[in-house]
C-alpha cells in the first residue's frame, strides 16, 4: 500500500494555499511536513484525510488511516478509560480491561484512568490522544503537531511508537515545526516549497491520470460493516453521548427549566381566566416545547467541532451516519422526552382535561421526533459558523411549521370528537420523511462545515 | 455529454459572452408583455362584478406570488446542480435568485395585504395562502442570512445549497399543512387542471403580466449573474482584458 499525491493544490478564497504538492510514500516511510505558520501544513493533512477536497490534483490513499489534528478529539467530560473505549468502538476494536490499562501505562497516564479528561494538563491530553494510536495497527498515520505540549520523555515515547509503526510497514505523515531528528524520514518544506529531490524526479506526466479528487486504494472497509455491528456501535456511541451530557447538568436541565418557567409567564400575561388558558394551552405548550428544543440544538455539534472530534469522526470511513444517528437519538432522549413527560403537569396547570392531556402527550411524543431530526440537520448546517447565535432558529423555524400545525390542531379536533387517525398518520409520515432526509442532509452539511 | 455541456456553456467566461446577445431581446420581450398587461389590465379589462376596480391589483399580486414561488424552485434546481456537479454557474444563479425572489415575495405580501383591506376589511388575515407566502419569505430570509455569515465561497455555496434543498422539500408540506390549517382565500385564480375561473378578457392581461414578471426576473438574474461572474473571476485574464 502506498500514499500518493499528484500535483495537489487547494484554494481558499481563490488563493492557492500552497503550490502543487506531489509525493509518494511506500511502506515504512515517514514524511515530515514543515513550513511557516499558514504555509498549509494542516490543510495538506486534512486533504489527505479526506476532510477537504483538493482543488486540483489527485490523492490516492488508504481507508485505513488515523487522523489526529492539532486538537485532541477528546470528549472532555468522559474519563480516559471511556474515551479510549469510545474511540475503540468507532474503529471497531474489541478491548479488554487489561489492554486499556496497558495502553494508558505506555502513555504514562495510567493513574488518571478514571479522571474526566477536562482535568488533564495539556501534555496529558496529548498523551491520551497519541495513546489512541495504539488501539489498532492502522496503516496510515496523519498527525498534526503530535509533540505539542509533550515533555522530553513524552517526545521520546512518541518517537518509539512511531518507529514501531514504521517498522511494521506503516506510513506516517507528520506536520511539525520541530523536525523529529531521530526518525528517518523525508521532509517537505511547504513555505519554501520545493519537494525533496528524489520526489520531484519521481513524476512524469504519464504517471497518473490527472483527475481531480481522491481515491482509495483499498476498499476493504465497507464490507466489514454488518448491520449487527453497526447497531452495537450505535448503542455504545449513544450511551457515551448521553453519559457525556448527563455529567454536565446545566446542559440538559436548562432547556427543561426554561420550558417550565416560560409556561408560568402566560397566565401572568393574559390573565388567570381558566377558559381562555384552556383554549390556548395546546398552542402554548407546543410553541414552548419547540422553543426549548431550539435552545438545545445549537450545541449538538459545537463541542465536537471545538474539540476536534468532528474531524476525527469524518476521517473514519462510514462512521458519519452512525455518529449522526447517535446524535439524533441522544438529542431526542435528553431534550425532547423530558418535555413530553412534563407536559401533563403543564396541561393540568392550564386547565386541560385528562383526555386532552393524553392526546397532547401523544402528539408531543410523535411530533418531537421531527423537531429533533430537523433540529440536528440545522445544527449540522451552522457547525463551524462562529457566533451563529440566533441564525439557527431563523433557518429552521419555518421548517417546524407543518409539525406545529398538526400537533396543535389535533387537540381542537379531539374536542370536536372527530377522528384523529388522519393527524397521527400525517405526523408519522412527517417523522418518517424527516428520518430519511435528516441524516443525509446532516452528513452533507457536516462535510461542508469542516471546510471552515 | 453533460460534462461537455458544463465545460462549454456553463463556464463562467462563455456564459458571460453568450448572454450578452440574449439580454436586449429579453428586455424587449419584457417591455412588450408588461405594457400590454398594464394597459389592457388597468384600462380595458372589465371591472369585477363583486370587487369593482379593486380587483385590478390581481395584475401585480398573482404574477409576483407566482414568480416568487417559481424563483424558489429555480433556486432549488441550481442548488442541486451546485451540490452534485459543483457547477459554479449554478451557485451564482442560486444566490442571485434568492436576492431577487425575496423582493417578489415581499411584493406579493404587500399587494395581498392592500387587496385584503377593501375585500376583507382588514390589512392582514391569517389566511392559508397569505401565510404560506409569509413562510416563503422566511425561507428566503433564512437562506440569505446563512449566505451572509459564511465568508468562504465554496462553503457558502454548498451550505446554502443544502438549505435550499431542505426548503424545497418542505415547501409543499408547508403549503398543504397551512391549507389544512385554515383557508379563507378565494380559490386559485389559475389552475392547470380546471378551466380558469376568470373571464378571457381578464385572463389575457394576467397571463401577459405573469410572462412579464418572469421575463423581468430572467433579465435581472442575467444582469446580476454577469456582475457576480466579473466579481468572482476578477483575477482571471479575460476579465482583466475586458476591464482594461
Backbone angles phi, psi at B52, to 5 degrees: 65, -145
Residue with the bigger pLDDT between A80 and B119: it is A80
Q: Is B107 among the domain residues?
A: yes
pLDDT computed for residue A414 by the predictor: 81
CB contact under 8 A, A395 and B145: yes
- Count of domains observed in chain B: 1
Cβ contact, residue pair B166, A409, below 8 Å: no
Mean pLDDT of the B66-92 span = 91
Does position B193 have pLDDT exceeding 50, yes or no?
Answer: no
Asked whether residue B147 is assigned to any structural domain, the reply reads yes
Is residue B113 in some structural domain?
yes
ipTM of the complex, rounded to two decimals: 0.84
Q: What pLDDT was estimated at residue A195?
A: 45
Averaged over successive runs of 10 residues, the pLDDT of chain A (452 residues) comes to 83 79 86 85 87 84 82 88 88 84 86 88 89 83 87 88 88 86 81 52 40 52 64 88 84 86 89 86 91 88 86 84 92 92 89 88 91 93 79 91 88 80 88 92 84 56
The residue in chain A having the minimum alpha-carbon distance to the alpha carbon of residue B175 is A402
Window from A382-396, A428-442, B6-20, B79-93 with minimum mean pLDDT: B6-20
Q: Is the Cβ of B153 closer than 8 Å to some Cβ of chain A? A: yes
Nearest Cα neighbor of A262 from A238, A298, A286, A241 is A286
The band of B29, judged by pLDDT with boundaries at 50, 70 and 90, is: very high
Binding-face residues of A in 349-388 toward B, CB within 8 A? 377, 381-382, 385, 388
Q: Do B159 and A381 count as a contact with CB atoms less than 8 A apart?
A: yes
Q: Quick check: A375 and A327 in contact, CB under 8 A?
A: no
What's the half-sphere exposure (Cβ side, CA atoms, 13 Å) at B241?
Answer: 4
pLDDT at B184 (0 to 100): 41
Question: What pLDDT score was predicted for residue A341?
Answer: 92
Q: Please indicate, yes or no, whether the overall pTM of this predicted structure exceeds 0.95.
A: no
pLDDT for the residue numbered A220:
47
Identify from B177, B183, B229, B230 which residue to disrupt to test chain A contact, counting A C-beta atoms within 10 A and taking the largest count: B177
Q: In whole numbers, what is the pLDDT of chain B averaged over residues?
A: 84
Is residue B112 in some structural domain? yes
Comparing A94-103, B191-200, B225-234, which segment has the lowest mean pLDDT? B191-200
pLDDT of residue A198: 44
Domain residues for B216?
20-43+54-181+199-243
Per-residue CA distances from B142 to A91, A386, A450 (Å): 38, 17, 21
Looking at residue A212, its pLDDT comes to 54
More confident residue, A333 or B118: A333
| B49 within some domain | no
DSSP characters for A295-346?
A: HHHTTTTHHHHHHTHHHHHHHSTT-HHHHHHHHHHHHIIIIIHHHHHHHHHH
pLDDT of residue B220: 95
Please indicate, yes or no, if residue B186 is contained in any of the structural domains. no
CB-CB contact of B83 with B161 (8 Å): yes
For residue B6, what pLDDT is reported? 59
**Is residue B227 assigned to a domain?**
yes
Which residues of A are less than 8 Å from B166 in CB distance? 377, 399, 437, 441
Q: Is residue B168 part of a domain?
A: yes
Chain A residues close to B86, C-beta within 8 Å:
none
Amino acid at each position: 500500500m502506498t500514499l500518493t499525491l499528484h500535483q495537489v493544490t487547494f484554494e481558499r478564497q481563490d488563493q492557492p494555499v500552497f503550490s502543487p504538492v506531489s509525493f509518494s510514500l511506500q511502506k515504512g516511510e515517514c514524511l515530515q511536513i514543515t513550513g511557516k505558520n499558514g504555509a498549509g501544513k494542516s490543510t495538506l493533512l486534512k486533504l489527505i484525510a479526506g476532510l477537504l477536497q483538493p482543488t486540483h490534483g489527485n490523492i490516492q490513499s488508504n481507508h485505513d488511516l488515523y487522523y489526529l489534528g492539532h486538537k485532541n478529539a477528546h470528549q472532555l467530560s468522559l474519563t480516559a478509560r471511556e474515551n479510549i473505549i469510545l474511540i475503540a468502538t468507532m474503529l471497531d476494536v474489541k478491548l479488554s480491561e487489561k489492554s486499556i490499562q496497558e495502553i494508558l501505562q505506555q502513555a504514562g497516564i495510567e493513574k488518571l484512568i478514571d479522571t474526566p479528561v477536562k482535568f488533564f494538563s495539556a501534555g496529558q491530553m496529548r498523551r491520551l490522544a497519541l495513546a489512541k494510536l495504539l488501539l489498532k495497527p492502522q496503516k496510515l498515520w496523519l498527525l498534526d503537531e503530535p509533540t505539542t505540549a509533550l515533555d522530553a520523555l513524552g517526545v521520546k515515547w512518541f518517537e518509539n511508537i512511531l518507529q514501531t509503526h514504521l517498522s511494521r510497514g506503516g506510513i506516517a505523515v507528520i506536520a511539525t515545526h520541530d523536525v523529529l531528528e531521530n526518525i528517518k524520514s523525508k521532509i517537505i518544506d511547504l513555505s519554501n516549497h520545493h519537494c525533496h529531490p528524489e520526489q520531484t524526479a519521481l513524476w512524469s506526466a504519464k504517471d497518473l491520470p490527472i483527475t481531480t479528487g481522491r481515491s482509495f486504494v483499498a476498499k476493504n472497509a465497507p464490507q466489514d460493516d454488518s448491520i449487527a455491528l453497526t447497531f452495537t456501535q450505535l448503542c455504545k456511541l449513544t450511551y457515551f453521548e448521553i453519559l457525556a451530557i448527563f455529567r454536565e447538568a446545566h446542559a440538559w436541565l436548562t432547556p427543561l427549566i426554561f420550558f417550565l418557567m416560560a409556561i408560568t409567564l402566560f397566565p401572568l400575561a393574559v390573565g388567570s381566566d381558566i377558559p381562555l388558558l384552556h383554549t390556548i394551552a395546546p398552542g402554548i405548550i407546543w410553541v414552548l416545547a419547540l422553543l426549548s428544543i431550539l435552545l438545545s440544538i445549537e450545541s449538538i455539534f459545537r463541542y465536537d467541532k471545538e474539540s476536534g472530534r468532528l474531524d476525527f469522526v469524518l476521517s473514519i470511513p462510514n462512521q458519519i451516519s452512525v455518529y449522526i444517528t447517535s446524535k439524533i437519538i441522544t438529542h431526542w432522549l435528553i431534550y425532547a422526552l423530558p418535555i413530553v413527560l412534563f407536559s401533563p403537569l403543564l396541561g393540568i396547570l392550564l386547565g386541560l382535561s385528562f383526555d386532552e392531556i393524553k392526546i397532547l402527550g401523544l402528539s408531543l411524543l410523535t411530533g418531537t421526533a421531527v423537531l429533533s431530526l430537523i433540529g440536528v440537520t440545522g445544527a449540522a448546517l451552522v457547525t463551524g459558523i462562529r457566533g451563529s447565535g440566533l441564525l439557527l432558529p431563523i433557518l429552521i423555524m419555518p421548517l417546524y411549521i407543518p409539525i406545529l400545525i398538526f400537533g396543535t390542531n389535533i387537540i381542537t379536533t379531539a374536542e370536536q370528537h372527530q377522528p384523529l387517525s388522519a393527524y397521527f398518520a400525517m405526523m408519522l409520515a412527517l417523522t418518517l420523511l424527516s428520518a430519511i432526509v435528516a441524516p443525509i442532509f446532516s452528513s452533507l452539511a457536516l462535510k461542508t462545515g469542516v471546510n471552515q | 455529454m453533460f460534462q461537455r455541456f458544463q465545460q462549454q456553456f456553463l463556464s463562467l467566461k462563455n456564459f458571460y459572452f453568450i448572454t450578452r446577445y440574449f439580454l436586449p431581446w429579453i428586455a424587449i420581450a419584457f417591455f412588450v408583455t408588461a405594457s400590454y398587461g398594464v394597459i389592457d389590465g388597468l384600462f380595458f379589462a372589465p371591472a369585477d362584478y363583486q370587487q369593482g376596480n379593486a380587483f385590478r391589483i390581481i395584475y401585480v399580486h398573482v404574477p409576483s406570488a407566482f414568480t416568487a414561488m417559481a424563483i424558489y424552485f429555480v433556486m432549488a434546481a441550481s442548488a442541486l446542480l451546485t451540490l452534485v456537479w459543483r457547477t459554479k454557474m449554478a451557485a451564482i444563479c442560486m444566490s442571485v435568485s434568492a436576492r431577487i425572489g425575496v423582493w417578489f415575495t415581499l411584493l406579493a405580501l404587500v399587494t395581498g395585504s392592500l387587496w385584503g383591506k377593501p375585500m376583507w376589511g382588514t390589512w392582514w388575515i391569517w389566511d392559508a395562502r397569505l401565510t404560506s407566502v409569509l413562510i416563503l419569505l422566511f425561507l428566503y430570509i433564512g437562506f440569505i442570512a446563512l449566505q451572509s455569515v459564511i465568508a468562504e465561497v465554496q462553503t457558502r455555496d454548498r451550505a446554502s445549497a443544502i438549505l435550499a434543498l431542505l426548503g424545497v422539500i418542505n415547501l409543499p408540506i408547508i403549503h398543504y399543512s397551512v391549507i389544512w390549517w385554515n383557508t379563507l382565500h378565494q380559490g386559485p385564480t389559475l389552475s392547470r387542471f380546471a378551466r380558469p375561473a376568470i373571464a378571457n378578457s381578464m385572463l389575457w392581461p394576467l397571463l401577459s403580466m405573469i410572462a412579464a414578471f418572469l421575463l423581468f426576473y430572467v433579465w435581472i438574474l442575467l444582469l446580476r449573474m454577469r456582475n457576480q461572474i466579473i466579481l468572482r473571476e476578477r483575477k482571471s485574464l479575460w476579465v482583466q482584458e475586458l476591464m482594461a
